[in-house]
Amino acid sequence: MIKTFTHEKLLRYVYNELPAKEQQEVEQALVHDADLAATCADLLLAQRTLDGARCTPKQSTTNSILQYSRTFLKAG
């Protein structure tokens, strides 16, 4: 019997939030269901694209935080 999965369950799968048993079920279905695999691939591509929008702070900000931590230690 072909088990169907909701889009919400696939979302939880690509974000590694499914319990192990359900994760296995999805992975087995991906092997046999091309449409499901394509939908999953789209989600993974979206994840990858969103990763590209990640940004980093200035080094000076990082240094200030580290300095604060060291100073806090001395004060404490």
Partner 1 sequence: METMQPSDSALISLYIAGQEEAFAQLLERHKARVFTTIMLIVRDEDVAEDLLQDTFIKAIHTMKGGRYNEEGKFSSWICRIAHNLAIDCFRREKRSPLLNLDTTSHAFNSLSLAEEGAEAALTREETHARLRELIQELPAAQKEVLIMRHYGDMSFQEIADATGVSINTALGRMRYALINLRKKMAAQPVFYDQNVYPREATPVRVQRIAG
Q: How many Å apart are CA 46 and CA 60, to the nearest integer?
A: 32
* Of positions 1, 2, 35, 56, contacts partner 1 by CB under 8 A: 56
Q: Is 3 in the site for partner 1 (CB under 8 A)?
A: no
Binders in 13-32 for partner 1, by CB under 8 A: 14-15, 17, 27, 30-31
Q: Which of 44, 42, 34 minimizes the C-alpha distance to 14?
A: 44
Q: Are 23 and 5 in contact (CB under 8 A)?
A: no
Joined together, the tokens standing for residue 25 give: 């079920």
Q: Which residues bind partner 1 (CB under 8 A)?
A: 7-8, 11-12, 14-15, 17, 27, 30-31, 37-38, 40-50, 52-58, 61-62, 64-66, 68-70, 72-73, 76
